[in-house]
Structure 1
Amino acid sequence: MMVTKGRFMTIVQSSAGFDLHEAPLWEYLATTSEPDSHHVRALLDKARDLGGLDLEDLVPLMAVEDPELLAELFATARFVKESIYGRRLVLFAPLYVSNRCSNECSYCAFRARNQEVVRRALSQEEIAEETRILIRDGHKRVLLVAGESHARDSLDYILESIATVYGVKEGPGEIRRVNVNIAPLTTEDFRRLKGAGIGTYQIFQETYHHDTYAQVHLGGRKTDYRWRVQAIDRAMTAGLDDCGLGVLFGLADWRFELLALMTHIRHLETTFGVGPHTISVPRLEPATGAPLAQQPPAPVDDRSFLKIVALLRLAVPYTGLIMSTRETAALRRETLALGVSQISAGSRTNPGGYTADRRDDMSQFSLGDHRSLDEVIQDITRLGYVPSFCTGCYRLGRTGADFMDLARPGDIKDHCDPNAASTFQEYLMDYATPATRAQGEQALDGFIAGMGDSAARYARTMVAKVRQGRRDVYR
């Protein structure tokens, strides 16, 4: 076993994978005071170089409360976000196929002993119908989600469900990439999951704080902290080099969670040469039959939540930040400028929710944004963003370290921006309402005009092909 000690952190790296010694993090947080403005501005200057921030850099920035310094922090996050992602914003939808679960998580409606939720695992025919509805809305990528059932055949069900989603064709559309959020697997089973052609494997630790983790996970395989926290090690060992992390903010002190998350990221970078492809930032929301969700143990107010998004953008500038429909439309708008690069839209969080249009029945948590995909697109284009349904990188092998090798020098824009343009043009022609199409065409023209010469040439050529009837044009 190798132990790597920094001034304020300890990473324990063994053959099993990541583990966390949290005492040094708490010790440093306990000694934090209002940071010096010169130090804060020096850190913000460092972030503007787009090289990210160290763990030690985050703690004084977390303590910023002065309105002027906080405004500068937010402005720096916006600079970093727009320097790397421009005005491009990736859209997707979750597809819940099952709410059967063997775990007892006190904050979740899917918990095993919750009698207020009707259990359901969709048949393959039902999954196909849900997929058709998402395609008719205009979606090209989905996040497949299932309760963490540990039945012997559960992975077979997931693999069959992925194949079903990929197999659905509806008019000119199809789902081109399935990302997955399911229970931790063995290394061998992760290899099977990779063989299904998924994009990103996503898993949330929920909380990195050991005591809190034990207090809120009361039964099932999920009680094993290390089995869960080392899932990404096993996934990457199996060849799944596009993985997503996340914290459920509201369970423990958000400052500790942020430092622990960054420690996990640095471990992945050191061990595998690449960190997570995405980071999700959900806050604890009310859930049927889950009293803890009504009163979060460590609630995160809106200003702190915006600070979390901004700090993550400064710390890991090339990692996608995901914002779900847990948050209200107004708050989601604010996060777009601070670092969020991917959002869900038109979401349902219950199995069969798209077919039945039951927004809350059997849902995992309450939604804050109930707007349709078209309404979200009209809103974000009004704000100057261009939606992207691109899946080109996955299908051309630009994942993991290969993606980051293009992202760090800024070369990925030459691929992602034209792909965003062509996929948005598809949406405007095939699915948009007349008002959204008119507004979107104007936004798309401005987006292409703002690209570099090479990317703009590709974008205009690709968009022209779409307008001539071609689909799935990407580079």
Structure 2
Amino acid sequence: MQPDTSELENFINEQAINNTLEHAANPDRANVLEILSKAREAKGLTLEETATLLQVTDPELDEELFAAARDVKNAIYGNRLVLFAPMYITNECGNSCLYCGFNVTNKDLTRRTLSPEEIRSDVIALEEQGHKRLLLVYGEHPKLKADWIAETVQTVYDTVSEKSGEIRRVNVNCAPLSVEGFRKLQEVGIGTYQCFQETYHEKTYDSVHKGGVKKNFLWRLHALHRAMEAGIEDVGMGALFGLYDYKFEILALLTHAQDLENKFGVGPHTISFPRLEPALNADMAYNPPCPIDDMTFKRIVAILRLAVPYTGLILSTRESAVLRRELLDIGVSQISAGSRTYPGAYSDPEYDRPEVQQFCISDNRSLDEVIRDIVDAGYLPSWCTACYRLGRTGEHFMDLAKRGFIQQYCLPNSLLTFQEYLEDYASESTRKAGKVCITNEVDNCPVERRSVVESRLKRIEQGERDLYL
């Protein structure tokens, strides 16, 4: 049975978005440079300004775009990069989505829902790699209720392995719930609730979602509103690029973000922008209706960084290692690493399991390999969860970030979490490279914090754990 959405508003005005894009066609070079100059102030862009950047076709202006995105990324985030892993709890689903391997009509997919013991086994496997932040992913089956989802979250938090093995932030990607259901997730202390609209173009949405509760466009569109009404301060949104025109999807994403900010005082904590990847018995995933090449994808990331400078941009292992490294420079602030996309994957001795996974991934490297690569590229890995655990979330976090105060915490806490990883989990080569990185980065800490950071780094070397500012 579909939920009642008779009183919900579709705040995505398709005609207005199309008019904005049409008005911004064939942009003047001087206007584009003026917008990029404004963007460097890290105050965000209007829909009209974003539309203008989306209509640029001059390769020389592309380089100006990337340079501006690079400047904004560096000014706000520095070289810190947050790492996490997705952990699939179930691939049972009641929806029929033409692009997804979990499609209820896919009879070749082996369905599995993890028991509490199996959840603990996968969590321990992830902890023993060094992960501290997980995104729990659930198929959208009507039988999967909020109480059960909350129990699985609590099981993850309760699972502790040797060394410093504990998960300190659990984010959740599950079916849209009622306000009451979201309150149950908030009560067990989830970090971010993440829900992708997939496509904001209603006709396309209807054509690719053939059945299930997910077919209800408005119920999904207002999911983040209900989550925030329930007290979940951090929410994450996204679109699945390849289903419809990416220019429309970006302006719709930003419209969605603005609506949240207007109603709750703060927009999304993160935005994701996955591209369609092959999935079992999903022809559309192999042949996207609106394919996006790598250069266009790079422009998408850069434009999002300028449009919403303080919003985290998440990049998954759908993309190749080479492209992932390139995108870090111009906007991405969070990446998954060592990912697998099916239930029980991390305690599974096999690797490639198309009969159970949601989609294929391109970056198959281990967490340690990813860390060594990003350190060599000049980035500082971070598993920091201090803001979340100290209440610096939602509007409070954004207020701190926009005033620059968050830099007083992020770099020091990144160093402390990286030191833990090096002491407890890193390979010898990664440990050597990481120690050099930490030594160099301590000098970049705010002067008033430096002695505290140096003291806590030594305490971690001596065996203490979970120190943060």
Which TM bucket (shorter chain)?
over 0.9
- The answer to whether the aligner puts 1:86 opposite 2:78 as a matched pair is yes
Asked if the contact 2:147–2:184 (Cα under 8 Å) also holds between the matched residues in 1, the reply is no
- The answer to whether the aligner puts 1:403 opposite 2:426 as a matched pair is no
Q: 1:43 to 1:458 in 2, by over 3 A?
A: farther
Match of 1:312 among 291, 304, 310: 304
Q: 1:463 Cα deviation (Å)?
A: 1.4
RMSD: 1.2
Question: 1:254 & 1:374 partners in 2: Cα distance?
Answer: 33
Please state how far the C-alpha of 1:31 moved relative to its aligned partner: 4.3
Query: Residue 387 in 1 paired to residue 381 in 2?
Result: yes
Query: Out of 247, 253, 270, which is 1:261 matched to?
Result: 253
1:249 paired to 2:244? no
Query: 2:152: which partner in 1?
Result: 161
- Between stretches 373-382 and 406-415, larger displacement belongs to 406-415
1:37 matched to which residue of 2?
Answer: 29
Mapped partners of 2:208, 2:394: distance in 1: 32
- Equivalent of 1:170, from 151, 161, 166? 161
Map of 1:303 onto structure 2: 295
Distance 1:351 1:247 in 2: 23
Counterpart residue identity of residue 153, structure 2: I
Shift of 1:136: 0.2
1:386: Cα distance to partner?
Answer: 0.5
- TM-score of the pair, normalised by structure 2: 0.96
Q: Distance in 2 between matches of 1:168 and 1:304?
A: 42
Q: Using the alignment, how far apart are the partners of 1:28 and 1:97 within structure 2?
A: 41
Q: Contact between 1:89 and 1:343, CA under 8 Å: does it hold in 2?
A: yes
Report the counterpart of residue 372 of structure 2 in structure 1: 378
Whether the 8 Å contact between 1:18 and 1:264 is mirrored in structure 2 is no
1:360 aligns with 2:360: no
Q: Deviations over 1:431-470 (max 9, x none)?
A: 0000000001111122221232124333223212211211
C-alpha separation in 1, matches of 2:64 and 2:441: 26
Count matched residues.
461
More moved, 24-33 vs 358-367? 24-33
Cα 1:17/1:397, change in 2 over 3 Å: farther
Structure 1 residue 330 corresponds to structure 2 residue 289 = no
The superposition leaves residues 197-226 of structure 1 with CA deviations (integer Å, 9 ceiling, x where unpaired) of 100000000000001000000000000000
1:414 aligns with 2:408: yes
CA contact (8 A) 1:17 1:233 kept: no
Q: Which amino acid in structure 2 is aligned with residue 54 of structure 1?
A: T
Partner of 2:205: 213
Secondary structure of residue in 2 paired with 1:259: helix
Q: SS in structure 2 opposite 1:142?
A: strand
Separation of aligned partners in 1, 2:263 and 2:324: 34
SS of alignment partner, residue 333 of structure 1: helix
Mapped partners of 1:392, 1:450: distance in 2: 19
Q: Measured at CA, do residues 459 and 34 of structure 1 come closer, stay the same or move farther in structure 2, by a change above 3 Å? A: farther
Offset from partner CA, 1:178-215 (integer Å, 9 cap, x none) = 00000000011111110011000000000000010000
Matches within 5 A, 1:105-254: 105-151=97-143, 153-172=144-163, 173-254=165-246
Structure 1: state its 5+ residue gaps.
Answer: 1-13
> Aligned residue for 1:453?
447
Deviation at 1:15, TM superposition (A): 6.9
**2:3 aligned residue:** none
Letter of the aligned partner of 2:353 in structure 1? D
* Structure 2: gaps of 5 or more residues: 1-5
Q: Is the 8 A contact 2:95 2:212 kept in 1?
A: yes
Structure 1 residues 458 and 79: CA distance shift in structure 2, 3 A: farther
SS of equivalent residue, structure 1 residue 470: coil
Q: Is 2:21–2:52's contact at 8 Å kept on the other side of the alignment? A: no
Partner Cα distance (1:74, 1:348) in 2: 31
SS in 2 for 1:118: coil
Quote the Cα distance in structure 2 between the aligned partners of 1:56 and 1:427.
Answer: 44
Deviation string for 1:222-244 (max 9, x for gaps)? 00000000001111111111000
Task: Tell me how far apart the structure 1 counterparts of residues 445 and 220 of structure 2 sit (CA, whole Å).
Answer: 42
Match of 2:425 among 416, 420, 431: 431
Corresponding residue of 2:458: 464
Percent identity for Structure 1 against Structure 2 = 53
**Aligned AA (1:99):** N
Alpha-carbon contact 1:73-1:310 (below 8 Å) kept = yes
Q: Deviations over 1:379-415 (max 9, x none)?
A: 0000000000111111111110010111001100111
Does the alignment pair 1:58 with 2:50?
Answer: yes
Q: Provide the rounded CA distance (Å) in 2 between the counterparts of 1:269 and 1:15.
A: 20
Distance 1:30 1:396 in 2: 45
Q: Is the 8 A contact 1:19 1:230 kept in 2?
A: no
Instruction: Name the SS for the 1:92 alignment partner.
Output: strand
CA-CA distance at 1:32 after TM superposition = 3.8
Cα deviation, residue 160, structure 1: 1.4
Q: Which residue of 2 is the match for residue 473 of structure 1?
A: 467
Q: Is the 1:64–1:70 contact (alpha carbons within 8 Å) kept by the matching residues of 2?
A: yes
1:137 partner SS:
coil
Q: Secondary structure at the match of 2:199?
A: coil
Q: Hey, what's the Cα distance between the residues in 1 that align with 2:395 and 2:449?
A: 22
The one-letter amino acid paired with 1:106 is L
SS at match of 2:422: helix
Instruction: Say whether 1:27 aligns with 2:13.
Output: no
SS in 1 for 2:83: strand
> What letter corresponds to residue 343 of structure 1 in structure 2?
I
Structure 1 residue identity aligned to 2:252: A
**How big is the shift at 1:63?**
1.5
Letter in 2 for 1:294: Y
TM-score by length of 1: 0.95
Contact 1:18 1:233 in 2 (8 A): no
Q: Is contact 1:360–1:366 with CA below 8 Å preserved after alignment? A: no
Secondary structure, counterpart of 1:89 in structure 2? strand
Change (3 A) 1:300 1:21: same
1:419 aligned partner, one-letter code: N
Does the Cα contact within 8 Å between 2:20 and 2:48 map onto a contact in 1? Answer: no
